[in-house]
Amino acid sequence: MQSRKALITGITGQDGAYLAKLLIDKGYEVYGVHARRSTDALWRLRYLGIEKEVTLLGGDMTDLPSLLRCMEKSAAGEVYNLAAQSFVGTSWEQPILTANVTGVSVVNMLEAVRTVNPKARFYQASTSEMFGLIQEAMQSETTPFYPRSPYGAAKLYGHWMTVNYRESFGLHASSGILFNHESPLRGIEFVTRKVTDAVARIKLGKQKELRLGNIDAKRDWGFAGDYVEAMWLMLQQDMAEDYVIATGRTTTVRDMCAIAFAHVGLAYQDHVVIDPAFYRPAEVDVLLGSPAKAKAKLGWEAKTDLNTLITGMVDADMVRVSQD
């Protein structure tokens, strides 16, 4: 039986690595778009033991010809567009870069699919940050968007262009509106990983305090390994649609800190320092997603609770920091 072929942009990121492993385990031939960098971008693939099992193709999300070549070389029947400038804080400092890499690049990838293989199924990584200043207490696929950052606005452009290509050209193009999803592979700049790394360093005597901004912000946090399964399920459906992927539970940064510090026998109040430098120009106070449609149509629901997720991240960072 001929193996199915998938192309993943952003394959070296948290979601890309977990998705690549899921697809490899399902028997796919997996290709990844990889912009050559001097830093070690492949550590997540190594962490999951799949570095040698993926084929990396040189490409850049802002360069359409390179994406056309990636589509041709991979002969992919499924395309997962995960690449982005994905850190919200950076988007205020680099709004034009964020617009190009997070927004316009989605059209580049859609054009590559439409040109090379319009029958390929396309997944776009949308985000709960598009809801921003929330218009409903629990956000669903029908909740109006109100992004509060250049990142959220760029993602919203990519989201609507995906809808547009689906309706204009008949592409099987779906967007997953994913709420916050974390793991031991999360970038150190994201708050959950910043917390778990600091907990490990404080416990091991390598750091004294953790400086954070608004710890009363609420987020709907899930495990990235669960969420990539939803991406795959979307592309197995007869009809392309958009889905909110979330746990349906929201927790403050403060309570997340409490879980992380308590796991190693510490009290967060003794170590967390509120620093106004970490406040955002426009804050998103609460995000809470409704996974009802994903459960009804995809049969998907989050499996990993927040306590298991955060304590697992702390354990992974304890190992990492002890080896520094």
Q: What is the pLDDT of residues 58-97, one digit of tens each?
A: 999 999 999 999 999 999 999 999 998 766 777 778 889 8
Average pLDDT over residues 20-36: 95
Please, what sign has the CA dihedral across residues 145, 171, 175, 290? positive
Single-letter amino acid, residue 177: I
- Look-up: residue for tokens 């099992």? 53
Domain 187-219+249-287+303-322: what homologous superfamily? Answer: UDP-galactose 4-epimerase, domain 1 (3.90.25.10)
Alpha-carbon gap, residue 44 to 41, rounded angstroms: 8
- Specify the pLDDT at position 282: 72
Looking at the whole model, is its pTM more than 0.85?
A: yes
Q: Is 151 a catalytic residue?
A: yes
**Residue 1 confidence class, pLDDT cut points 50, 70, 90:** very low
Tokens describing residue 78: 């499924």
Residue among 29, 78, 129, 182 flagged as catalytic: 129
Alpha-carbon gap, residue 164 to 159, rounded angstroms: 9
Alpha-carbon gap, residue 162 to 3, rounded angstroms: 27
State the architecture of 5-181+222-245 in CATH terms.
Answer: 3-Layer(aba) Sandwich (3.40)
Tokens describing residue 201: 């360093």
Residue among 28, 151, 227, 268 flagged as catalytic: 151
Query: Nearest CA to 112 among 60, 34, 175, 55?
Result: 60
Average pLDDT over residues 299-315: 98
Would you list the domain boundaries of the chain?
5-181+222-245, 187-219+249-287+303-322
Tell me how far apart the 2 most distant CA atoms of the chain are, in Å: 59
C-alpha dist (Å) from residue 243 to 37, 140, 142, 154, 272:
33, 8, 10, 18, 36
Q: Compute φ and ψ for 222, nearest 5 degrees.
A: -130, -175
Point out the least confidently predicted range of 29-38, 61-70, 231-240: 29-38
Q: Is the pLDDT of residue 324 over 90?
A: no
**Residue 277 confidence class, pLDDT cut points 50, 70, 90:** confident
Alpha-carbon gap, residue 181 to 245, rounded angstroms: 10
Tokens describing residue 90: 């950076």
Tokens describing residue 323: 């080896």
Residue among 102, 127, 162, 196 flagged as catalytic: 127
